[in-house]
């Protein structure tokens, strides 16, 4: 029970929100709240200052955090050790991915070669997937965010130009390419903060001095594509991520656009673990 309470404390402290912590832990909000309350009452301490919408750590909470961090890391190390200690007939590989487009072929080859290994894929944006890797919630992660960090092994999987995707009835649909200035007349659909595609789009617009007529923030690629199909707006997407669909039109940007790179990451000190090494062996990096 103490470990469960400490994990709830740790996740709330990291995320600053009981709602987000409960989602991450797969628990209900009342459960997380009661675990923290029970921990505080059992030891007569106040771990959080409760005021406003975000919880902040008390002095006792600040001192407790590094101890709980060690506990969480030990637990994940034990889990990782056990999952990687058998032969290749059993095991569980956890993958974090920003999207299926660059990773599923590797997963397919891995599963064909190691049919007894279970695979789970957690989806999120680039920042979320790198956080999951550092928090040991996944074993490998794909991300379009380039990180130069000696702790990570990084492999480039693909490069993809950014394109403008519009509905077939949109005023721009008849064109083969557009100027960035055309976005000034459009409702632009964007991903959430933390998305590399959104960051690159905002940089391109800033360099061109362009502001869209309005924006709608949508939290997944799939939902953005569905919104375009309903002619809710237009969006800048990596070309390979655009599905073939009669309602969609793909327009290049005049003068070319930056390419979105997709990378595969793992922790350097775990690259030789049997499951991770077996997965990396299926990767075909671009030249």
Give the pLDDT confidence score for residue 91 in this predicted structure.
Answer: 86
Q: What is the predicted pLDDT for the residue at 179?
A: 92
Residue-range domains of the chain with CATH: 2-65 (1.10.10.10), 160-259 (3.40.190.10)
Residue that has been written with the tokens 């775990």 in this structure: 270
d(CA 197, CA 225): 14
Residue 52 has what pLDDT? 64
The pLDDT of residue 205: 93
CB atoms < 10 A from the CB of 169, how many?
9
Q: What are the average pLDDT values for consecutive 10-residue runs of the chain, which has 287 residues? A: 89 87 88 92 90 80 92 83 76 89 92 94 88 89 91 93 95 92 94 87 93 92 92 93 91 86 93 92 86
Integer Cα distance of 87 and 71 in angstroms: 27
User: d(Cα 158, Cα 14) in Å, to the nearest integer?
Assistant: 32
Residue 68 has what pLDDT? 92
């Amino acid at each position: 029970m103490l470990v469960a309470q400490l994990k709830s404390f740790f996740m709330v402290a990291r995320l600053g929100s009981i709602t987000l912590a409960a989602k991450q832990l797969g628990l209900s909000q009342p459960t997380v709240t009661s675990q923290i309350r029970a921990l505080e009452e059992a030891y007569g301490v106040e771990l959080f200052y409760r005021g406003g919408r975000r919880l902040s750590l008390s002095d006792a909470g600040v001192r407790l955090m590094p101890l709980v961090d060690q506990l969480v890391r030990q637990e994940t190390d034990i889990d990782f050790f056990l999952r990687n200690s058998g032969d290749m007939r059993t095991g569980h590989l956890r993958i974090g991915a920003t999207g299926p487009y660059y990773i599923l072929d590797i997963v397919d080859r891995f599963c064909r070669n190691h049919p007894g290994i279970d695979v789970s894929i957690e989806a999120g944006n680039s920042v979320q997937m790198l956080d999951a890797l550092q928090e040991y919630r996944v074993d490998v992660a794909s991300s379009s965010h380039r990180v130069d960090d000696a702790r990570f092994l990084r492999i480039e999987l693909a490069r993809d130009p950014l394109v403008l995707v519009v509905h077939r009835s949109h005023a721009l649909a008849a064109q083969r390419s557009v100027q960035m200035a055309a976005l000034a007349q459009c409702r632009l659909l964007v991903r959430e903060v933390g998305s590399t595609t959104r960051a690159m789009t905002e940089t391109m617009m800033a360099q061109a001095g362009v502001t869209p007529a309005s924006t709608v923030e949508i939290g997944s690629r799939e939902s953005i594509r569905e919104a375009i199909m309903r002619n809710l707006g237009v969006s800048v997407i990596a070309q390979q991520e655009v599905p073939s669909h009669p309602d969609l039109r793909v327009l290049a940007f005049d003068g070319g656009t930056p390419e979105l790179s997709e990378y595969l990451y793992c922790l350097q000190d775990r690259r030789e673990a049997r499951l991770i090494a077996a997965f990396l062996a299926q990767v075909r990096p671009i030249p």
